[in-house]
Chain A
């Protein structure tokens, strides 16, 4: 017991050193790891916010067809029904990020990656997609066709 008593001051000194050294090691690790983690995080690219895109002349868009257009950094699919009606949806499959296409033979929007199907209203009707495709607005001004974000 007496021996233990004598060790007491020694022990606190040791604990103190342990905290100081351990703490410094942690702080040092932090100063090394933090910049590396920050470096690995890709910086936000200043992307021009696109609100509408001109896709071309109405006469150039075939009836009963689906065409992909670039909308900012994302693809958009423009459908024209047999009766001439225009509709636009995000072409990114809601399942796992693949790009969809219009299948004339099915009369549906189809994703090749996992056989997901959407009807011409963008609703997920078969396969794995969990929700409908986002809809875009189609504006026709005279002969020109524009696609814009739904507000």
Chain B
């Protein structure tokens, strides 16, 4: 280390004991096994989240969150502001990739049963962040105030409204009134840039702190391997450098997507125009949207729509609570049921997303 840098380091170290931290980092090891590749998806999701924060702040420099100005401000950003199109495209693409990598991360943890004791809280915070990510997607979609966004928001908030008892108040709270108007835009803007990021940052802090404190989860087969035969890799610098290399690749991929497939702006929302043909929700809502289509309007005495939404709600809740009802994995035993359940969910999502996409 250069003398000046050393001086600065010593000055800080004397006060906050950096040596301890470096020693801790040096002792951290990442297990190496045939499923190690999945460890990288959490890191990539983190990287994409950082990109969202940076590009989001940049977009805020020009975006105007009102019914009369939102669409025009993005038009201005895309056509007049230097690299405005790039920043917006990266924000949109990174949002979609984030949901994808977070999904892969979630499923890999699920199949490895890494949520088992003692990592229940890590799983819970992760799931909450995933739901928030969908909230980010839904609220951010409205902000350009275009035709597609307007009707997507109408349908999405109306779905919340069909729930018995609490539905109507929730819908009015979300819309800021009976209808989707400028009031809805203001609220969604607030959720998207203040409420959600605030909550997300706290959850992310807990999530990362737990990962550091408890170390990487080891696969169950690892526990039967004699200590001498377990392969590991130092986190610093070996794993971190691999992580950073992957981040670089993802950044390049983002740039390619943003340049060659720039995000469209569409037509400005008009409350008195018909919904455009071919309107569809974002891909990560498609499987639910498609499933709702197959439920008949009336099932015995129940409203089909309500039943469908409640069903998805219960399924999501059970999924989130898996560390608390999968007692087999918690005891370190193999649980085939969880694996089959996970496979069913993966195939269900893939098949219904494809049907929704082509129909």
Q: How many residues of B contact A (CB 8 A)?
A: 26
Contacts of A100 in B (CB 8 A): 274-275
* B279: A residues at CB distance < 8 A: 98, 112-113
Q: Is the CB of B151 within 8 A of A113?
A: yes
Query: Interface digits, A3-44 against B, CB 8 Å rule (1 contact, 0 not)?
Result: 000000000000000000000000000000000000011100
Residues of the B chain whose Cβ atoms lie less than 8 Å from the Cβ of A91: 274
- Rounded to whole Å, the gap between the CB of B289 and the closest CB of chain A is 8
The answer for the CA separation of A85 and B90 in the assembled complex, in Å, is 52
- CA A35 to CA B183, docked complex, whole Å: 19
B216 to chain A, nearest CB (A): 41
- B176 proximal to A (CB < 8 A): yes
Task: Give chain A interface residues in 48-94, CB to chain B under 8 Å.
Answer: 68-70, 73, 75, 91, 93
Which of the residues A68, A96, A101, A128 comes within 8 Å of B158, measured between beta carbons? A96
- Majority-rule SS of A interface residues: loop
**Would you call A96 and B274 a contact (CB within 8 A)?**
no
Q: Return the chain A residue nearest B181 by Cβ.
A: A73
Complex formed: what's the CA distance from A113 to B277 in Å?
7
* Pair A112/B172 contact, Cβ less than 8 Å: no
Q: Give complex CA distance A41, B174 in Å.
A: 10
B351 at the interface (CB under 8 A from A): no
Contact A42 B155 (CB under 8 A): no
State whether the Cβ of B271 lies closer than 8 Å to any Cβ in chain A. yes
In the assembled complex, B164 has its CB within 8 A of some CB on chain A: no
**A42/B183 in contact, CB under 8 A:** yes
B293 interface residue per 8 A CB criterion: yes
B226 located at the interface, meaning its Cβ lies under 8 Å from any Cβ of chain A in the complex? no
Q: Specify the chain A residue showing the minimal Cβ separation from B172.
A: A42
Q: How far is the CB of A123 from chain B (nearest CB, A)?
A: 14
Q: Which of A113-147 touch B at CB < 8 Å? A: 113-114, 128, 130
Say if the beta carbon of B72 comes within 8 Å of chain A. no
A148 interface residue per 8 A CB criterion? no
Contact A99 B274 (CB under 8 A): yes
144-201 of chain B: CB within 8 A of chain A:
151, 154-155, 158-159, 172-173, 175-177, 179, 183
Which residues of A sit under 8 angstroms from B176, Cβ to Cβ? 42
Among A45, A99, A112, A128, the residue within 8 A (CB) of B293 is: A128
A sample of 16 more A-B contacts (CB under 8 A), given A98-B151, A100-B274, is: A41-B172, A42-B175, A68-B273, A73-B179, A75-B271, A96-B154, A97-B154, A98-B279, A99-B275, A101-B275, A112-B274, A112-B278, A114-B293, A128-B293, A128-B297, A130-B298
- Residues on B facing A (Cβ under 8 Å): 151, 154-155, 158-159, 172-173, 175-177, 179, 183, 271-279, 293, 297-298, 303, 305
Query: Interface residues, chain A, CB within 8 Å of chain B?
Result: 40-42, 45, 68-70, 73, 75, 91, 93, 96-101, 111-114, 128, 130
A-B contact pairs, 15 of them (CB 8 A): A41-B173, A42-B172, A45-B177, A68-B274, A75-B273, A91-B274, A96-B158, A97-B155, A97-B158, A98-B154, A98-B279, A99-B272, A101-B274, A112-B151, A128-B293
